[in-house]
């Protein structure tokens, strides 16, 4: 009996502890980080602008196809590059940079880790690689799978980077290869000024992403949207404030 009571007390204490921790996290939600300017998900604007973002590249085949399409429609994209892939495909990185797209940081090896120091090291390594290819050092960072901790956010901000997420309703989940129409509908059905859309141009077969863009780009253009980079969007946000 004593053992059971002891166990119950432990359980209660544990639950309270996690509740408190959880609450502390909840208090540092989206608004908290947005107000500090540490993280952006999307912006509020009446201008017909949208930011298309691409993770996990560059890929020698799919990224080139994406770039061709963006060029065709006069669209600018933002590419969250994986350093080791950039190292293998410097010509693709140089092309996107010279074409006026934005290059950004998505770690070096795309690790699934909670270690802040490892991530910080990878951010630096990737920026060194991107700088050696383009002469430009990105200041935008997207964490792997969009996972962040308060500690990571603070470290990243301290180094002068801004974290870029995406509009909650604009996660195409194209990495799952859900079918071209699903990707197209996801973007078009809820599209709104100031949205940030999440695509993937690397990390696997991205044929569906390319095919979806063939439909999304002309349709949004017809609706009057201009496709801008994240930095351009952040500038616009400053003007609004």
Nearest position to Zn ion, beta carbon:
55
How many angstroms separate the Cα of 12 from the Cα of each of 5, 20, 32, 153? 11, 12, 30, 31
DSSP characters for 87-134? HH-HHHHHHHHHTT-EEEE--SS------HHHHHHHHHHHHHHHHHHH
Cβ 89 to Zn ion, closest distance in Å? 16
Cβ 36 to Zn ion, closest distance in Å? 24
Cβ 55 to Zn ion, closest distance in Å? 4
- Side-chain half-sphere CA neighbours of 83 within 13 A: 26
Q: How far apart are CA 144 and CA 173, in angstroms?
A: 14
Q: How far apart are CA 4 and CA 73, in angstroms?
A: 68
The answer to whether the beta carbons of residues 52 and 198 sit under 8 Å apart is: no
Among 22-30, 55-63, 113-121, 204-212, which window interacts with Zn ion (CB under 5 A)?
55-63
Q: How far apart are CA 36 and CA 38, in angstroms?
A: 5
Q: Closest CB to Zn ion among 71 and 171?
A: 171
User: Known catalytic residue: 55?
Assistant: yes
Stretch 191-210 residues interacting with Zn ion (CB under 5 A): none
Residue 55 is a binding residue for Zn ion (CB under 5 A):
yes
Question: Which residue in the set 56, 64, 122, 201 belongs to the binding site for Zn ion (CB under 5 A)?
Answer: 56
List the catalytic residue out of 59, 101, 106, 200. 200
Q: Which helix (H) or strand (E) holds 238?
A: helix 230-240
List the catalytic residue out of 42, 55, 56, 201. 55
Stretch 57-96 residues interacting with Zn ion (CB under 5 A): none
Q: Which helix (H) or strand (E) holds 14?
A: helix 2-27
Please report the sign of the dihedral spanned by the C-alpha atoms of residue 24, residue 27, residue 190, residue 70.
negative
Size of the site for Zn ion (CB under 5 A): 2
Cβ 64 to Zn ion, closest distance in Å? 19
User: Known catalytic residue: 106?
Assistant: no
Q: Closest CB to Zn ion among 65 and 85?
A: 85
Among 47-55, 85-93, 125-133, 160-168, which window interacts with Zn ion (CB under 5 A)?
47-55
How many angstroms separate the Cα of 139 from the Cα of each of 14, 19, 102, 214? 40, 35, 10, 29
Residue 174 is a binding residue for Zn ion (CB under 5 A):
no
Cβ 106 to Zn ion, closest distance in Å? 6
Q: Closest CB to Zn ion among 55 and 87?
A: 55
Which residues are designated catalytic? 55, 200
Residues making contact with Zn ion (CB under 5 A): 55-56
């Amino acid at each position: 009996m004593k053992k059971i009571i002891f166990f119950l007390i432990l359980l209660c204490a544990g639950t309270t502890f996690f509740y408190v921790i959880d609450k502390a996290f909840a208090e540092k939600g989206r608004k908290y980080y947005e107000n500090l300017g540490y993280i952006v998900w999307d912006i509020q604007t009446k201008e017909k602008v949208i930011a298309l973002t691409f993770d996990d590249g560059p890929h020698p085949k799919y990224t080139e196809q994406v770039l061709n399409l963006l060029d065709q429609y006069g669209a600018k994209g933002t590419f969250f590059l994986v350093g080791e892939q950039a190292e293998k495909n410097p010509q693709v990185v140089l092309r996107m940079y010279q074409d006026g797209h934005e290059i950004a940081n998505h770690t070096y090896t795309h690790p699934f880790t909670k270690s802040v120091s490892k991530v910080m090291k990878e951010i630096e390594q990737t920026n060194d690689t991107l700088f050696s290819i383009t002469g430009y050092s990105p200041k935008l960072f997207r964490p792997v799978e969009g996972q962040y901790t308060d500690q990571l956010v603070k470290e990243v901000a301290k180094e002068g980077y801004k974290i870029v997420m995406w509009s909650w309703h604009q996660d195409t989940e194209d990495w799952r290869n859900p079918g071209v129409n699903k990707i197209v509908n996801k973007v078009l059905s809820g599209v709104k000024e100031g949205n940030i859309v999440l695509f993937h141009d690397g990390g696997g077969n991205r044929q569906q992403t390319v095919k979806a863009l063939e439909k999304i780009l002309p349709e949004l253009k017809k609706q009057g949207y201009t496709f801008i980079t994240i930095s351009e969007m952040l500038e616009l946000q400053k003007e609004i404030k």
